[in-house]
Amino acid sequence: MSKETRANLSSTAKFSILLGSGVIAGFAAAVLSQPADTLLSQINKGHGPKGTVLYRLGVLARQTGFKGLFAGLGPRMVMTAGLVSGQFLIYDSIKQGACISRFLLGCSADQSSNGQ
């Protein structure tokens, strides 16, 4: 996106881009971390054979199966997308308030000269 295009974006468009980016990042985080969190929960509950952690994780992963590793992914995606979107919006609001943003919500010349 060019600097001119960024400068001419409406606040609604900027908000939509931030929110959409947060949702996508949240979905990716949920999908990537779900299998490991599922196995970690099983380890913490004492499931699986005795042995090293890697051996126990391998056995639990085989027992659980691919589908089982992703059980509960839908609610986790909704929760994570909401959290990450909120974090993106808060982060960008702070950057805008401090006039240090380089990406979407940077201060224009008149904002920085007025002390806003």
Residue 115: the pLDDT is: 43
pLDDT above 60 (res 101): no
**Pair 22, 88: CB distance under 8 Å:** yes
Average pLDDT rounded to a whole number, residues 93-116:
60
Sign of the C-alpha dihedral, residues 30, 32, 35, 41? negative
Q: For 37-62, how does the pLDDT look when each residue is reduced to its tens digit (9 = 90+)?
A: 999 999 888 888 888 888 999 999 99
Structural domain spans, the chain: 14-113
What does the block give as tokens for 90? 């808060």
d(CA 19, CA 103): 14
Mean pLDDT of the chain: 84
Question: E strands within the chain?
Answer: none
What does the block give as tokens for 106? 């940077």
Residue 112: the pLDDT is: 45
Average pLDDT rounded to a whole number, residues 26-36:
95
pTM for this prediction: 0.74
Residue 47: the pLDDT is: 86
Q: For 63-80, how does the pLDDT look when each residue is reduced to its tens digit (9 = 90+)?
A: 999 999 999 999 999 999
d(CA 94, CA 116): 12
